[in-house]
Amino acid sequence: MCGIVGYVGNNAVKDVLLEGLQRLEYRGYDSSGMAFVGAHQTQVYRACGKLDNLRKILENAHTESSFQGIGHIRWATHGAATESNAHPHRSTDGKISLVHNGIIENYQALKEELQAQGFCFQSQTDTETAVYLIEREYQKYQSLEKAVIAAVQYLKGAFAFCIMHQDEPDKIIAVRKNAPLVIGLGKNGNMVASDIPALIGFVDRIVYLQDNEFAVLHQKDVSFYDFDGHSLLKSPEPLALEAEQISKGHYAHYMLKEIHEQPDILRRLLSFYMPDGQNICLNGIDAKKMLRNIEQIEIVACGTSYNAGLAAKNVIEKLTDIPVRVEAASEYIYQKQLTNAQTLVLGISQSGETADTITALKQARLKNAQILVLTNREDSSIVQCADAILPLKAGIEVSVAATKSYTAQLVVLYLFAFKLAEVLGVANAETNYLKHALFELPVQMEQVLSAEKALEEVSALYASYSDFVFIGRGISYAGVLEGALKLKEISYINANAYMAGELKHGPIALIDENMPCVAILIKNSSTFDKIISNCEEIKARHGKLIGLVSDETYQNKLFDNLIRIPNVCEELSPLLTAPVLQLLAYHIALKLGREVDKPRNLAKSVTVE
């Protein structure tokens, strides 16, 4: 969850680290800190809250003599968001400094052992255990590399470290086990970071560390080793991204920019997976071999990715008659698994670093299931669990609340469903219709986005309400789950989504004049009239009604506010309702003065279970 960055080189270290941490702030903003090794001392600066608090402290810091440093942005796990729990953590003699992303699972036992040996802990974090272990081993070996190799043998869990020692200048050690870490190689120095955005503009080549590996960074070279100390040969790859690709452009927030990128991402995916406009190509996957003999599908994901999986379940089962089970990865890993060799497990993760999903896929592997992964990061940890991957091609998503990656997941899942139907020999006229109807969606999505001003006006009417209800039927239930999640994430409003037919079995007790209700109604849906009846029930109890309706002929006598979207078939409707609900949440959050891109308590990459 946390973000770490390290730099050794000729550029102004403070500025490089601040820029890197700013680009990683989506990973946490409970506290931040930096350490700089100078000629005679290590300077450490830490601050609670957002990175701007650290930036103010650093305005008067004299770091000009330093050519190396490490930085950290924290999402609190062990210990509250206090300055004493902020990173970097230091050894008792002040010479070793360390930043950490991950969780050390056996830290309590190690802490007790170290306390018995005389080490005095200053924080409630698990991280402090690691720095004291390294200090203890350094006393034996008088070598930072040897001390790190010895110390990591004691640690269980997930960790990515950047480590420096006062007596060994021009050296940063970067360590990876079950937590992402990438090395950057540049003309003016070398870097390490939790994610690529921190490196853009500073380096021109990258190397991904794998589990149980570490790197030793100097100003002019980088060496790689495994946890046994054996030297490794690595082939750097070019870093092709430019700084403009992670800028907001003319948009006020990354979230708004990413919402408006969705039509082009849909076009990109169609071009990638259907280059001739007719045939679906899964790019390197032997679809017949992988899909022909499956008897069931399990979709494993978390959060927004889970909601995309629920939508896909409706389409896959309808087109193929293959049963689909959708499980939250955090629950899957603790349940009895009925997975077998005839099961295809779809793991979905935008970041490719979602710890629960990775653990679930590893367990499915033990059951001999085939593993197909959908991810926006083809270089991520989840890829190592997969027999094959379906890339989302959404580009770097900076805002914590997922938008463009959700619609990318939907599109790729649709294409997978169509291909599966073809491989199984059950594709029919409806399959072909849906496949080609996808090509109309980018323009229709642009129509939806062009009506943003009207959505902003609707949002202003409802920003003062503290609770919301969302209702939908069939595939629209997955849509309202995602809409309610977006509103919760960025506005902090208590928003709950329900199957519309279940409203009268309990949730209708919540309805009164202070309860806005958002309903999705898709023309020609078999449940259109039923959900109209559900809305009548809400109206009879004085609830405020907002309707998303895909029927331009519908005469409104029911809704307080009606939002029309282009006519679309029910199966593809989530691709048009999603941008509407994203913009609704965005503008409500703006009216409430929320920090849209960095909502409280959340982080973009959930790298801990």
- Active site residues per annotation: 2, 604
Q: Which amino acid is at 466?
A: S
Between CA 103 and CA 220 the distance in angstroms is: 32
3-state DSSP helix/strand/coil percent for the chain, to nearest 5?
Answer: 40, 25, 35
Q: Identify the H or E element spanning 518.
A: strand 516-521
Helical (H) or strand (E) element with 547: strand 544-549
Task: List the structure tokens of 364.
Answer: 């499915």
Whole-number Å distance between alpha carbons of 581 and 476: 12
Residue recorded with tokens 């070793």:
96
Q: How far apart are CA 551 and CA 525, in angstroms?
A: 11
Q: Could you tell me which residues come within 8 angstroms of residue 126 by beta carbon, excluding any fewer than 6 positions away?
A: 77, 78, 100, 103, 104, 107, 157
d(CA 392, CA 409) in angstroms, rounded, equals 6
Tell me the C-alpha distance between 584 and 460, whole Å.
Answer: 9
Coil, strand or helix: which one is 517?
Answer: strand
Sign of CA dihedral 494, 27, 412, 587: positive
Under 8 Å between Cβ of 480 and 574: no
Amino acid symbol at 174: A
Helix runs in 48-186, H state only: 51-58, 107-116, 127-141, 144-152
Do 470 and 484 contact (CB within 8 A), yes or no? Answer: yes
Q: Which residues pair with 545 in a beta bridge?
A: 517
CA of 3: how far to CAs of 104, 380, 456, in Å?
Answer: 16, 15, 34
Could you give the CA distance from residue 424 to residue 429 in angstroms, rounded to a whole number? 15
Q: How far apart are alpha carbons 287 and 9 in whole angstroms?
A: 47
C-alpha distances in Å from residue 116, one per residue of 112, 113, 152, 369, 549: 6, 5, 20, 46, 67
- One-letter amino acid for residue 69 of the chain: G
Burial of 311 (0-12, 13-18, 19+ CB in 10 A): buried
Kindly calculate the radius of gyration of the chain based on its CA atoms and give it in whole angstroms: 26
- For residues 407 and 575, what is the distance between their CA atoms, to the nearest angstrom? 6
